Amino acid sequence: MKRSCCRVYSIVTVDSKGQIVLPKEVREEFNIGQNDRLVLIGFGSEKDHCCMVIMKADRLNSTLASMLQPIFKEVIE
Q: Which residues pair with 53 in a beta bridge?
A: 41
**Domain containing 26: what range?**
1-77
Q: Indicate the number of domains in the chain.
A: 1
* Mean pLDDT, range 34-45, rounded to an integer: 89
Per-residue model confidence (pLDDT) at position 33 = 96
Per-residue model confidence (pLDDT) at position 76 = 64
Nearest to 54 by CA among 20, 77, 24: 20
Beta-strand ranges (E) seen in 24-71 are: 38-44, 49-56
Q: What is the CATH number of the domain that holds 19?
A: 2.10.260.10
pTM comes to: 0.65
Per-residue model confidence (pLDDT) at position 50 = 85
